[in-house]
């Protein structure tokens, strides 16, 4: 096994953190998307479901873009093998994300109930497919895929669909669904929140059971024996998921913290299991790709580190500010003023008032929630 440098290990950790952020934030986005018709029974309620993530879903996807870009820059050989070997699977994920993103934009522009229904099913499909396939993909990365001595993928799409990988897909799918249901319970009011709470109470125990089964399989089937650090993290993930199952439907805030910790520990266990490899070969251990074999030069990694230190805090602060601004619950009742547009209107009114623009408050305008 080739030795790795500090910068190579640092960027493996940083890329892992980017994936963790993506799965925690986009995880509840996927769950919300899959539940739109289950918790929303009419146009107003489904609008509230969309508004619950409307201001943040596209920002959450930035974590995926940065993770992919960082992998390309820091570990180009890893990127090349991963994206060429998983081309069809990643293409399907991309299709799902595109369909999902388009459905957000066009749902509100549909002129008929039938048109909105089509976009709702598109949102469900576009949320379901990536939630399933991300688990399949990372299960394969950890488990190992057919790679030859030149670190080229020699299998097909069907080689990725073995029982272990499919269980990984079901684990992420069920965990994200439960995560999204709890998020909706926290972010909405009335009947929407009640239905989300009921779904969370039923879905979270199932997610915990599937997630624990997958983690147990991962720990016990590791080539070379059980890794102590990965096993400890798997146990922590299991405890967090069980806690979420107990708290869901009773204490939603604590349950959401538990699912968040469960997702973090779940994927951290996988990353620790993978380290210090970038890709594991199921053909022969001699063909495993190490970090040193796949990494860019130290100069490139140094420049990337400087840029990350300067810019990442700004991005994190901006995203945290976005969540703070849109922290209030969303209501299906327009009279409650519970849509993101109403939050923006209120913020503008507060700014005008602070500048002595109280005259704007008396200007006739559209009632709160109209058109949102």
pLDDT tens digits along 295-324: 999 999 999 999 999 988 998 898 899 888
Q: Could you tell me the maximum CA-CA distance found in the chain, to the nearest angstrom?
A: 75
Angstrom distance (rounded) from CA 291 to CA 74: 10
Q: What is the mean pLDDT of residues 14-41?
A: 94
CB 57 within 8 A of CB 29: yes
Residue ranges of the domains in the chain?
6-358
Q: What is the mean pLDDT of residues 268-282?
A: 92
Q: What is the pLDDT of residue 306?
A: 95
Q: What would the DSSP string read from start to end of 13-72?
A: HHHHHHHHHHHHHHHHHHHHHHTHHHH--SHHHHHHHHHHHTTTHHHHHHHHHHHHHHHH
Distance of CA 220 to the CA centre of its chain: 26
| Residues 200-250: tens digit of each pLDDT | 999 999 999 999 999 999 999 887 777 899 999 999 999 999 999 999 988
**What span, in angstroms and rounded, lies between the C-alpha atoms of 209 and 217?**
12
Q: Which residues are CB-contacts of 151 (< 8 A; sequence separation ≥ 6)?
A: 77, 81, 279, 287, 289, 293, 294
Cα angle at 332 between 330 and 334, to 5 degrees? 95
For residue 137, is pLDDT > 80? yes
Record the pTM: 0.86
Give 57-78 pLDDT, tens digit per residue: 888 999 999 999 999 999 999 9
Residues contacting 231, CB < 8 A, separation 6+: 219, 269
- Residue 228 CA to residue 238 CA, distance in Å, equals 15
Task: List beta partners, residue 290.
Answer: 277
| Residue 9 zone, left/alpha/beta (φ > 0; ψ -120 to 50; rest) | alpha
């Amino acid at each position: 096994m080739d030795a790795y440098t500090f910068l190579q290990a640092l960027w493996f950790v940083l890329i892992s953190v980017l994936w963790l952020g993506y799965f925690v934030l986009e995880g509840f986005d996927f769950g919300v998307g899959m539940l739109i018709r289950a918790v929303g029974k009419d146009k107003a309620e489904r609008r509230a479901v969309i508004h619950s993530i409307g201001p943040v879903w596209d920002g959450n996807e930035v974590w995926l873009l940065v993770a992919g870009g960082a992998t390309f820059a820091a570990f180009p050989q890893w990127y090349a093998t991963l994206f060429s070997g998983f081309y069809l699977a990643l293409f399907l994920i991309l299709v799902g994300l595109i369909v999902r993103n388009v459905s957000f934009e066009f749902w509100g522009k549909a002129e008929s109930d039938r048109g909105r229904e089509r976009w709702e099913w598109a949102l469900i499909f576009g949320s379901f497919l990536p939630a399933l396939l991300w688990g399949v993909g990372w299960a394969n990365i950890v488990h190992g895929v057919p790679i030859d001595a030149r670190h080229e993928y020699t299998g097909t799409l069907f080689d990725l669909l073995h029982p272990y990988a499919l269980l990984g897909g079901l684990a992420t799918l069920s965990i994200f669904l439960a995560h999204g249901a709890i998020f909706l319970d926290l972010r909405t009011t009335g009947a929407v929140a009640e239905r989300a709470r009921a779904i969370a109470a039923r879905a979270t125990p199932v997610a915990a059971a599937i997630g624990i089964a997958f983690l147990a399989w991962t720990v016990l089937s590791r080539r070379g024996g059980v890794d102590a650090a990965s096993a400890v993290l798997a146990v922590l993930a299991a405890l967090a998921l069980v806690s979420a199952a107990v708290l869901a439907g009773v204490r939603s805030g604590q349950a959401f913290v538990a699912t968040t910790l469960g997702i973090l520990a779940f994927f951290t266990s996988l990353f620790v299991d993978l380290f210090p490899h970038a890709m594991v070969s199921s053909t022969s251990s001699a063909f495993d790709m190490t970090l040193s074999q796949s990494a860019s030069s130290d100069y490139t990694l140094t420049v990337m580190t400087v840029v990350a230190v300067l810019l990442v805090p700004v991005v994190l602060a901006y995203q945290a500010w976005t969540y703070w601004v849109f922290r209030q619950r969303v209501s299906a009742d327009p009279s409650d003023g519970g849509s993101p547009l109403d939050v923006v209107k209120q913020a503008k009114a507060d700014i005008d008032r602070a500048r002595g623009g109280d005259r704007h408050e008396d200007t006739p305008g559209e009632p709160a929630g109209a058109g949102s």
